[in-house]
Structure 1
């Protein structure tokens, strides 16, 4: 038997429980430790945290409660009279005398350690005890300054970035809307203690959001300053304080502004001081926008110095992926998000689900080409621009057809569900975003909607207009929010847009988006950015938004875009088992329902790929076999032997053209690689990428 030490070191701890009952509350308690090595340790040291968790686990683990440990500190300290110690009760007393209320969970036992407060106030109360004070000044008391709780995928992104930055300078976060890219990227700055950080974006309107999130991450780090042309400090102030050694800083700049500099090929003598600064870290927000042009490339090249780390952020970086190696990309997409939401209770039983507020997407397609004839273009897709074409007086050229379409989506039909066909549906989609081809078209549609017997009951908000895009974007958002009002369950709105409010903004009340623009060649990036607008979490009149909807009236375009997004794409021979699995998961969490006349069908993977084949074949045949997609292996699905025979038969009937290869017959499968070919190529490419630096030879 061993005798344990009679005297033990004591520490104070602060933790929270993330559920509704404990919201806004912190518990301040104390623990002891047998470890003599904790003497003199700084707050939040690993050994202190371990001792605190051992104590907290004693009364939380049996109840299966998950908690966040926020702060630990030894209760022994030095003052002018020598060593002293304090207790958690003294901290409680300072908080109580300062007017901070306790949280009472049990009316019979009012003695508890829970307070309605934040971590910064508790830390000030600890300091007050050590200074011999009885209370805090009212200016020292706050309620919201607590550390951000990062979700598992956010922690993973931050950790993977730290690992990558030890061996390289580039990182891409391919993360969908609502991931929390801003907060997570700022956490990277804090963890790495970067001295000079530049945030570069093509959308200067998001400056306010970055500034607000800066406060959430750096509220307890006064050495960090924020600046931009409109928020915080001016650049010269930031740099002056930094050179004195007083601070580190984050500066927000617009890509449009930097592109105007003569240094990178612009027309103005400006921004030399920004390009002349040695940046430790550059964050490129919405990296898929404005960075691939000549001027955009020049800007990034001029900003990056030898040791500058660069983090690219984008929800849809489809035009950037080829520039990065696998280890330089962190991905968090819609399927991963919804899977995490579904699996949370299995893995974290009883803990609050952080993904619960994120609604599920549903896509409904209606084939307007079959309902309204004469609007099919050379891509064999519905031509929205022709359908909504306006004349010189600003009226619709096909006014009767457009009015018929509005009547159609309000039509009560036992066999076909139309989004405004019942009072229940109209209430469900009382706030929606409609994407239209252009400014004139939006104006004409707005006028027609106001005269319509059903849509005339809605407040039509037309944000498709002229002027500077970014300034208008901010004004457009205010316009929409004003129309929706403080009680969205009592109002009805339709927002018409031809581009505005499709990236970087959130309108909680939107439950549906209507895709009435674009073509077969619509980019997956633009499409996904738009439809994710309606996935913004919301609680309206006590009800949680659990489902959101996309209504698309060009079904073939829908399938193509979704296929590309789910990494199946229309690539010959590329529909491997893994790709099919990814597509299956996507359709599970984002079902696509097609309405074909009076028949409704739910797409599965095979049905979707089959439809895509038919689309491409129809395009090629309609274009007299001159369609270049026929000879581009990245654009055509593999056909089986029977389909190849039928295809060649059609070609013989129609005849050859100059666009065709010289061989007499075309076997589609030979235009692309087999699955084995692709695997070999990918393996070879991976091996190549590992050795990017040429070997040195002695000359």
Structure 2
């Protein structure tokens, strides 16, 4: 009986086994494109790598350093990782007695490790298995509950929800998790800032939760008509491209017609603060019968986001030809949605907030309540947040009359750009700077 228990519950080794993979920075002849996959119980993987090099020390790059633990508590070895790579078709050249080299990429090693850890097989580049943090899961559930509450009242309702979340919240990953929770098959991601595309593509193609999902964009290419209709499809597009018209016909660009004729399950506005509230965006997604506001778009793109002159020339003037994009629900993502909040565009039940204060509190609480566990907030930087107490004399002045409000946009309003830029209320701004520097004189 004792032996049976020992077999079912094997004692964990005192030292934790780790799998590593590295490549030489200046590979010798025959080693180009190879990755060395090994294992160690040493706390510092680099110590083991240097030991394995012996006297022939060479510069290298450590790509993979992962624990060799399965989800059921057992462990696997470096030979298991190499065998899994061989089964997937990767070459395992042997140099004398050295059998640790694989002709593959570090990402292929990560995928093999994930497969051994989970007992599942993955295609493509999916290898990440991290779960949502508590606040991400809360954002997803609050949004889903709000959507479903409106759909329960009116199945044709098109609900809108805002995530007012700080940088590094993980809005991309959490938004995909929301789409999965909604069983959405067609997801459109639209932004005024095309540079964020890398994050949307990387999260979809690296995490195992999105195995089988398809990603399309103007940059990534691929034919939307050849996409598998039984698998979720994500299309990443920019307002610049979707608002563009064919110069000859004034109609929607032919390559974008499928975007306008598709009934999307979820439209996600990323970097919403860059301009999704503008009339041009409203026309695009709500079909409002208004002319595209070129001057508004020009003001947006003069910030250096995109060279947009050519796109402005392509915008058509015939609203009768305009075909709006339809969806079942909207999700808005922003770290600074000040204008949307100030104008009352969203009510309280349509907003999920996650601030720097929330993050720092979560990081501290987790460290206190789970001292022996890995802290999911540990990699986030520690911050010091300060407030300034206004002098009593100034508070008294404000309380004497109706002028007891403060508008950041109005106070720091500026004119012109570049070297010619200046504050409209520069004397008042200078007084404020003097106050916070301790130079206040009653």
Q: Which has the higher contact order (CA 8 A, sep 6+)?
A: 2
2:249 matches 1:269: no
2:368 to 325, 332, 346: 346
Secondary structure of the structure 2 residue equivalent to 1:148: coil
Structure 1 residues 293 and 94, CA gap change in structure 2 (3 angstroms): closer
Q: Structure 1, residues 199-239: CA drift from partner, whole Å, max 9, x if none?
A: 0111112222221222233x5644311111112x33xx223
Structure 1 residues 93 and 291, CA gap change in structure 2 (3 angstroms): closer
Secondary structure of the structure 2 residue equivalent to 1:155: helix
Q: Which residue of 2 aligns with 1:151?
A: 133
Q: Which residue of 2 aligns with 1:360?
A: 383
Judge conservation of contact 1:196–1:250 (CA < 8 Å) in 2.
Answer: yes
Q: Structure 1, residues 482-531: CA drift from partner, whole Å, max 9, x if none?
A: xxxxxxxxxxxxxxxx8xxxxxxxxxxxxxxxxxx65559xxxxxxxxxx
2:214 matches 1:225: yes
Q: Which residue of 2 aligns with 1:27?
A: 69
2:350 matches 1:328: yes
Secondary structure of the structure 1 residue equivalent to 2:227: helix
2:181 matches 1:188: no
Q: Structure 1, residues 368-389: CA drift from partner, whole Å, max 9, x if none?
A: xxxxxxxxxxx9979987xxxx
Residue 170 of structure 1: how far off its partner (Å)? 1.8
Secondary structure of the structure 2 residue equivalent to 1:185: helix
Judge conservation of contact 1:364–1:593 (CA < 8 Å) in 2.
Answer: no
Residue 187 of structure 1: how far off its partner (Å)? 2.0
Residue 174 of structure 1: how far off its partner (Å)? 0.7
Aligned counterparts of 2:412 and 2:75: Cα–Cα separation in 1: 72
Structure 1 residues 175 and 238, CA gap change in structure 2 (3 angstroms): same
Q: Structure 1, residues 518-548: CA drift from partner, whole Å, max 9, x if none?
A: 5559xxxxxxxxxxxxxxxxxxxxxxxxxxx
Aligned counterparts of 2:261 and 2:123: Cα–Cα separation in 1: 40
Structure 1 residues 355 and 127, CA gap change in structure 2 (3 angstroms): closer
Q: Which residue of 2 aligns with 1:216?
A: 206
- Listed as ranges, the gaps of 5+ residues in structure 1 are 1-5, 31-55, 57-87, 101-115, 131-138, 366-378, 386-436, 442-497, 499-516, 522-551, 559-591, 601-610, 612-699
Aligned counterparts of 1:196 and 1:382: Cα–Cα separation in 2: 42
Secondary structure of the structure 2 residue equivalent to 1:28: coil
Judge conservation of contact 2:85–2:109 (CA < 8 Å) in 1.
Answer: no
Task: Give the TM-score of the pair, scaled to structure 2.
Answer: 0.54
Secondary structure of the structure 2 residue equivalent to 1:167: helix
Secondary structure of the structure 1 residue equivalent to 2:274: coil
Residue 342 of structure 1: how far off its partner (Å)? 3.1
Judge conservation of contact 1:198–1:281 (CA < 8 Å) in 2.
Answer: yes
2:298 matches 1:312: no
Judge conservation of contact 2:110–2:127 (CA < 8 Å) in 1.
Answer: yes
Structure label with greater radius of gyration: 1
Aligned counterparts of 2:166 and 2:425: Cα–Cα separation in 1: 23
Aligned counterparts of 2:75 and 2:376: Cα–Cα separation in 1: 33
Q: Structure 1, residues 611-652: CA drift from partner, whole Å, max 9, x if none?
A: 9xxxxxxxxxxxxxxxxxxxxxxxxxxxxxxxxxxxxxxxxx
1:239 to 225, 234, 237: 225
| Map 1:506-517 → 2, pairs under 5 A | none
Give the aligned CA root-mean-square deviation in angstroms: 4.9
Aligned counterparts of 1:230 and 1:257: Cα–Cα separation in 2: 11
Q: Structure 1, residues 281-325: CA drift from partner, whole Å, max 9, x if none?
A: 1100112332222221111214554x6121100112122231223
Q: Which residue of 2 aligns with 1:106?
A: none
Structure 1 residues 520 and 158, CA gap change in structure 2 (3 angstroms): farther
2:417 matches 1:438: yes
Aligned counterparts of 1:294 and 1:382: Cα–Cα separation in 2: 25
Structure 1 residues 344 and 293, CA gap change in structure 2 (3 angstroms): same
Judge conservation of contact 1:173–1:330 (CA < 8 Å) in 2.
Answer: yes
Residue 93 of structure 1: how far off its partner (Å)? 6.6
Judge conservation of contact 1:201–1:254 (CA < 8 Å) in 2.
Answer: yes
| Map 1:35-114 → 2, pairs under 5 A | 94-95=80-81, 97=83
2:150 matches 1:160: no
Judge conservation of contact 2:413–2:425 (CA < 8 Å) in 1.
Answer: no
Judge conservation of contact 1:121–1:140 (CA < 8 Å) in 2.
Answer: no
Q: How many residues align?
A: 298
Aligned counterparts of 1:324 and 1:362: Cα–Cα separation in 2: 27
Q: Structure 1, residues 331-367: CA drift from partner, whole Å, max 9, x if none?
A: 00122122223333233233333334324256799xx
Aligned counterparts of 2:124 and 2:200: Cα–Cα separation in 1: 25
Q: Which residue of 2 aligns with 1:174?
A: 164
Judge conservation of contact 2:266–2:329 (CA < 8 Å) in 1.
Answer: yes
Aligned counterparts of 2:168 and 2:365: Cα–Cα separation in 1: 18
Structure 1 residues 352 and 21, CA gap change in structure 2 (3 angstroms): farther
Secondary structure of the structure 2 residue equivalent to 1:242: coil
Structure 1 residues 226 and 345, CA gap change in structure 2 (3 angstroms): same
